[in-house]
Structure 1
């Protein structure tokens, strides 16, 4: 979605508790990819992740933000003006520390890391949020004592068919596949896919053809490739690929905690953001989407890249570097998929970026 004059805007989420501006609005130069700040609003505390409503109907055209707090909350914002304006008040999600959100089946869903749950909120005709309708609580743990004593839902998203909702849980080393009742908002567990213990899955992204999903692991710097059967609602792990070179860097590699995964629009490349290593990994995907091969890593342009985003054209990649307080953008080589740094913007405590 773009404004009436065809201009593209970027919305940058950040941690207000760490000095962030809240939600920053930036104009996007469609020729160079450069960002220019238009303004910011801190009406939502710690809006660490954002989602955009598309098209007509409830939520279409609105911007949604989690409030990564305890207790957690979510907010809907009108973005027709210069700055996002709350459509209604901030709504509790009946969970702690929501880290991700997505629209599905006419509802807003949040992944609540702190409480290990997924919440479903109603979306009204004007895009505003109603109360939490249902909460699905995850169960289980993993072998990494300091990170996996309990469930930690880190991401929730609909599959490409729109028939299923997937939640990625770092604490239980698994991905849950759920059915969402579009009328009642009830979320029902359909199946759970176990991944290798101790990997700590954080986020996943689907191949544009819809038949594969790529799960990025935080506790080990790897991507797990899975087949996705939308008819059956079944996720099957088929391979695992390191996102870091096998040869350690001089002086040894620092501890690395991958954070975000993005697949190119044509399905040829996959990129990951790697905190600690402070890099972006480039992986080539074969024509089936089932084989991922590490090509190289490039510097992320800052420190602690928390999120990656492709611009609407798919020609540029943006990294939200939380601890160096910037968003850096890269031109992507269409032949190799390798990003080349093109510029950056000051963005204190940046945590995510989306385009409208």
Structure 2
């Protein structure tokens, strides 16, 4: 029997389990037209929100954010096999995170370890990835301590994300509750992480709430999106010593006259390290910065995203499209990107997906 020709690109969408969401959505993406077609829904009622794809492209991992599982009432993370013909998902196994409200997952660039950020309990879970792509039991649980000046948002640590450096040596962990970005060294041989001795952490401005990280392709520059203040901080890394320093802080991506909600959502760099993109959920915008040779940021564009509460987005340079997920309006809007000028134009295409939280594009060679 002839196997069906695989789609060129697959869009995976993680969601919160609200408003009749079916869990994880799998779409075929046409890079020529920017249109999508639903291929599969993976039924799940525990808010499979944030996703990560194994570097080999054979497995997908999803955190389940509802923390009522196991004896310690924690969240969990699922592993799925990606069908090489269709991109559809088949459940492989599940492990507990031993932390509350896991909201982010990443995988090291060798595909040996998964890092889960537990927002509710302010902890980071390290899980080994086995040869068949399944997840082993947690090998480390690192708990942060401290708090910030905002009593409503920073009464305790809140680990929001963990992002791997391009050379796979460092892990940048954003803690919204303590205004710190912790830096860990990755030991591939031991399958563990340890505090970076040259720079254990960086402290950003009080009350700003670091949320997500974007790493420059050359590893020298690191950008921190700060949720509470809707600003960006710039770090510079010495790749010889792994010393990291704060070189710019509180770079705004809202106008000085803006008085509404400040709620930074997501941050990404283009593959060449020329532009930085950030979303603000308060006024439904995506700000675009150009980067100088010294890594400095200059805002060059501000784009209305076409929906309510733009949480996560992706920049697919291979097809020159930007897709933006809106948590409140239950939509994903599609934009055509002119990478040479940083201009974006809405195509008019819009997906209906309940509470989209994470968008990932997977492409076969």
> Which category of TM-score, normalised to the shorter sequence, fits these structures?
over 0.9
Residues 297 and 13 of structure 1: CA distance in aligned 2, closer, same or farther (over 3 Å): same
- The answer for the alignment partner of 1:247 in structure 2 is 257
Contact 2:210 2:224 in 1 (8 A): yes
Distance 2:159 2:244 in 1: 17
Shift of residue 183 of structure 1? Answer: 3.8
Residues 283 and 31 of structure 1: CA distance in aligned 2, closer, same or farther (over 3 Å): same
| 2:130 aligns with one of 108, 124, 133 | 124
CA deviations on 1:260-283 (whole Å, 9 max, x unpaired) are: 001112222111111121111111
Residues 117 and 231 of structure 1: CA distance in aligned 2, closer, same or farther (over 3 Å): farther
- The answer for the alignment partner of 1:33 in structure 2 is 34
TM-score, structure 2 as length reference: 0.90
Distance 2:132 2:55 in 1: 13
SS of 2:48 mapped into structure 1: coil
Distance 1:166 1:94 in 2: 20
| 1:297 aligns with one of 289, 295, 302 | 302
Contact 2:181 2:202 in 1 (8 A): yes
Q: Name the stretch that deviates more: 66-75 or 224-233.
A: 224-233
CA deviations on 1:96-144 (whole Å, 9 max, x unpaired) are: 1111111125111101101111101121111011111111111111111
- Segments of structure 1 that go 5 or more residues without pairing to the other structure are none
Residues 112 and 245 of structure 1: CA distance in aligned 2, closer, same or farther (over 3 Å): same
- Tell me how many residue pairs correspond in the alignment: 344
Contact 1:108 1:123 in 2 (8 A): yes
Distance 1:288 1:5 in 2: 42
- Segments of structure 2 that go 5 or more residues without pairing to the other structure are 68-73
| 2:101 aligns with one of 88, 92, 97 | 97
1:167 aligns with 2:166: no
1:328 aligns with 2:338: no
Contact 1:161 1:230 in 2 (8 A): no
Contact 1:134 1:185 in 2 (8 A): no
SS of 2:138 mapped into structure 1: strand
Distance 2:291 2:95 in 1: 40
Contact 2:10 2:87 in 1 (8 A): no
Shift of residue 82 of structure 1? Answer: 5.5
Shift of residue 4 of structure 1? Answer: 6.3
Residues 20 and 344 of structure 1: CA distance in aligned 2, closer, same or farther (over 3 Å): same
TM-score, structure 1 as length reference: 0.92
1:22 aligns with 2:23: yes
